[in-house]
A and B are shown apart, each in its own frame.
Chain A
Amino acid sequence: MRDIIEGPPDSEAPRPPLARRLAWFVALALGGMAATGAVAYVLRALLGLE
């Protein structure tokens, strides 16, 4: 799990531009929401709900 969980950036490393950081923020948040929604719809499908 250590390899999956990302640690903080090096304090001396150059910061990526704000636009790229915001894009990652939105992408990861939407990805989490999409994963949750996908699991929900799979469960509904398995139960045969409309």
Chain B
Amino acid sequence: MEFDALLLSRIQFAFTIAFHIIFPSFTIGLASYLAVLEGLWLLTRNETFKTLYLFWVKIFALSFGMGVVSGVVMSYQLGTNWSVFSAVAGPVIGPLFAFEVLAAFFLEASFLGVMLFGWKKVGPGLHFTSTVLVALGTLTSAFWIISANSWMQSPSGFAGTVEEGLVAVNWMQVIFSPTFPERLAHMVLAAYLTTALVVAAASAFRLLRDASEAESAMALKMAIGMLAIVAPLQLLVGDLSGKVVLEHQPAKLAAIEAFWETRTEQPFHIAAWPDREIAGNHWELSIPKVGSWITGGSVDAEIQGLDAFAPEDRPPVFIVFWSFRLMVGLGMAMIALGFWGAWLIWRGSPARSRVFLKACVAMGPTGFVAVIAGWIVAEVGRQPYVIYGVLRTEDAVSPIGAGAVSASLMGFLVVYAIVFSVGALYILRLLAEGPLAGALEPAPSEQRAPGSPLSAAPEDPGPPSKGDH
């Protein structure tokens, strides 16, 4: 393996996007959660919802900031490391990114200020409007980014060639490319699951310390509700997404399932050791015929294997195969956690089961892991193309030297290690303190000039009660 500019640029992009995707996948769900909390507070005036809002909005602000910082790096890399891709596809894909910034990011950034600094100033109604707009902004952001990425997976609505450049001829087909609807639903649900798992983990951590903390108990129940509904729904949407992959990216599906031979009655490989060198699996643990049924809807469905594609057109199989299984395995664990929690709620209170609370804490990071694993499936499975079937990754890289990319990659490794470690540790510290840490702080006492007679006087005990007489 030669560490040339191409490989180093791919490593750099993979490293920076793996860091970046952590934050939007969390803030998309968290913004909606904040809107729900504030809406419930407005409806019920239950102080628990207000306390939870004021706690999670701090986490949101920090995560949003780190998402912005890491996102800027992504867009600049398209110019510095993938300039041929930008030059060829810019007229098609550039406006999608521009809409993301103009419509979504500015919406989020504008009303985040009202969310953080304006509750007393603008009043409850306008503040709630801001929270809802920020939540809509995060979803709109997801819409445009997934639209851009889906076009790279299944390009449509364009004309031209790599040599002369691509232009859009039908914007609706560009924006709503064939794989877009299922992929958007899959990503948004993944974001909601990621947030639910973090909220559940933070709440469970607090309840393990103090089982009577009403705010954490409420947050845990809300998170369980989200998991119990969304995790099974995600399984269905994921299956739909897989069907779309079969239709539009059959080589990716063959890599996901380690199908090497085109045939009916494909087996489902629970585990295997795929190897491109031998164009087969060293070993496999399989269920006969079930692979055709899952992917094609019938055991008699003929599913293309990797033998249908020239060796140079096949994606890496091992990493795609195992990333997919990691994602699905974690998804199954999320479904189990949601149902377990729902059963505990039905039986009484999930806060009483320490085993369940510990399981929630352990599952806290799995949403992030599943999101990254899913993106590895999507992006590595698209290889060797950056625009599927149109532009190869090796042809999309900038004409730069390996030394320059090595230097920037080392810089990213060092800066990210410092900046994001500090940020993540601070967020973890806030999460560990829990929602009541700030809310229970005593109000600052009235300032009295030092050295004055009043400074030596005791605090006003307030009006006497009846018992004092």
Contacts and interface: CB of A to CB of B under 8 A. Distances in A.
Interface in B104-131: 105-106, 109-114, 116-124, 126-127, 130
Interface in A1-50: 1-2, 4-9, 11, 15-16, 21-22, 24-25, 28-33, 35-36, 43, 47
A9 B128 CA distance: 13
Contacts of B41: 8
Nearest to B105: A36
B299 interface: no
* CB-based closest 9 A-B pairs: A32-B113, A24-B121, A36-B109, A2-B438, A32-B110, A28-B113, A33-B110, A29-B110, A25-B122
B117 A8 contact: no
A7 B127 CA distance: 10
Interface stretch (B53-61, B364-372, B447-455): B53-61
B36 to A, nearest CB: 16
Nearest to B57: A5
A46 to B, nearest CB: 11
B54 A7 contact: yes
Nearest to B69: A39
Interface string B322-341: 00000000000000000000
Contacts, number: 82
Contacts of A11: 45
A36 to B, nearest CB: 4
Interface of B: 41, 45, 50, 54, 57-58, 61, 72, 76, 105-106, 109-114, 116-124, 126-127, 130, 438, 441
Contact of A24 (B45, B72, B118): B118
B119 A7 contact: yes
A43 B72 CA distance: 9
A11 B111 CA distance: 23
Contact of B441 (A2, A22, A28): A2
Contacts of B112: 32
B114 A29 contact: yes
B121 A29 contact: no
Contacts of A8: 41, 50, 119-120, 124, 127
Given A5-B116, A8-B119, A21 B58 contact: no
A20 to B, nearest CB: 8
Contact of B118 (A6, A15, A30, A36): A6
Nearest to A30: B110
Nearest to B129: A25
A15 B123 contact: yes
A43 to B, nearest CB: 7
A24 B122 contact: yes
Contact of A25 (B45, B109, B118, B120): B118
Contacts of A29: 110-111, 113-114, 130
Given A7-B54, A11-B45, A21 B113 contact: no
